Structure 1
Amino acid sequence: MLTPVQFFKCLADDTRLRCVTLLHLEGKLCVCELTEALALSQPKISRHLALLRQSGLLLDSREGQWVYYRINPDLPNWAYPLLDDALKAVQASESFGNDLDRLRQMDCRPDMAVCG
């Protein structure tokens, strides 16, 4: 079970906060989408996602060649209002706007198009 200390440690890192807020907004994203949105390397994103998954904050699932991440729907009830508040706070920042713009401008999103 995710504890409040683990929860806040997860969100205390800028990269993890950006990943979690994008996932909270979008529902699910694959590593390639997060890499594009955050303009960071795949290994760096994957390390952060692994930590978030190990903490119980995220779940992953394989769909064909893609591995998708999403917020764990079985989080403690106290976590959801905090995620909502974190998203509201981060949405006001320029960096989140840039992340979202890069994600929305991504040419070949797995759920949006056939990528070859």
Structure 2
Amino acid sequence: MTDDDAIELALRLKALADPVRVRLMALLMGADGGEMAASDLARAVGVSGGTASHHLGQLRAAGLVASDRRGVSILYRALPENLEALRGVLASCC
């Protein structure tokens, strides 16, 4: 594993090292249509909109989710290919 791979892996694991973020990822991975509005995600995990936005921003920075603005809503979707890459790196080295 290269240093860059290790850094990328650590950043993704750090992003997932929070129960709210794990719940957000689980919701997004199971979302019908593949995406959910930030407000719906906040409500589903029982946090404020600002708190949800913070957590979603951390997941986006780690490359685990993507977002699109549609009107006044921000829709989030999981990036399963990056989760699969994370699993692959862990399986090959651990």
Q: TM-score range by the shorter chain?
A: 0.7 to 0.9
Paired position in structure 2 for 1:3: 8
Deviation, structure 1 residue 48: 0.6
Per-residue CA deviations over 1:7-40 (Å, capped at 9, x if unaligned) read 2111110111110111011121111101110111
Query: TM-score, with normalisation over the residues of structure 1?
Result: 0.61
- SS of 2:75's equivalent in the other structure is strand
Alignment partner of 1:17 is 2:22: yes
In terms of fraction of residues, the more helix-rich structure is 2
- SS of 1:75's equivalent in the other structure is helix
Separation (CA, whole Å) in 2 of partners of 1:79 and 1:12: 14
Separation (CA, whole Å) in 1 of partners of 2:72 and 2:85: 34
Structure 1 stretches (4+) deviating beyond 4 angstroms?
none
Any unmatched runs of 5+ in structure 2? 89-94
Query: TM-score, with normalisation over the residues of structure 2?
Result: 0.73
Any unmatched runs of 5+ in structure 1? 82-116
Per-residue CA deviations over 1:30-89 (Å, capped at 9, x if unaligned) read 1110111011111111111111111111100012221101112552643368xxxxxxxx
CA RMSD in angstroms comes to 2.2
Identity %: 30
